[in-house]
């Protein structure tokens, strides 16, 4: 079974905390998530006014969305992080929460400061793409 390969180029800035691209093997199932939001099950916005708190809640909700497709953070191949702020410190604070959930994986990611997000008091949203290996139907059962 092949693995996703995270790609870097020596022609690009080498200090980024993420790979420039990811190559997914042929035959993998791709999962595309909607933007995970910092919403509690009752629809209320969690951690109002707290970038770190909302980022943590978003990552919990993203994991739940991925799990519905049989995936987890180890299957991520791309993230897009939206932060309702023009302050780079707020963006970095959110990025650090998201990045910590990636562990040692070099998942390519985009970090954006935006004017507003869709829900009342929402500060953070993360969408993702995951790749899951397709089980070999001819492989012996474990």
pLDDT in tens, 12-47: 998 888 899 999 988 889 999 999 999 999 999 999
Q: Which two tokens stand for residue 1?
A: 């079974």
Q: How far, in Å, CA of 13 to CA of 20, rounded?
A: 9
Q: For residue 7, what are the contacts with CB-CB under 8 A and spacing of at least 6?
A: 19, 20, 21, 22, 23
pTM confidence score:
0.90
pLDDT in tens, 49-83: 999 999 999 999 999 999 999 999 999 999 999 99
Q: From 19, 33, 23, select the one nearest 2 (Cα to Cα).
A: 23
């Amino acid at each position: 079974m092949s693995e996703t390969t995270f790609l870097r180029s020596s022609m690009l800035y080498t200090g980024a905390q993420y790979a420039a691209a990811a190559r997914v093997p042929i035959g993998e199932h791709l999962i595309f998530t909607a933007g995970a939001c910092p919403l509690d099950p009752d629809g209320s916005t969690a951690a109002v006014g707290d970038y770190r708190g909302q980022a943590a809640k978003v990552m919990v909700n993203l994991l739940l969305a991925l799990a519905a497709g049989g995936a987890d953070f180890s299957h991520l191949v791309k993230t897009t992080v939206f932060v309702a702020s023009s302050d780079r410190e707020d963006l970095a604070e959110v990025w650090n929460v998201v990045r910590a959930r990636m562990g040692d994986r070099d998942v390519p990611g985009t970090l954006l400061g935006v004017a507003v997000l869709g829900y009342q008091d929402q500060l953070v949203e993360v969408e993702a793409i995951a790749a899951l290996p397709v089980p070999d139907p001819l492989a012996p059962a474990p």
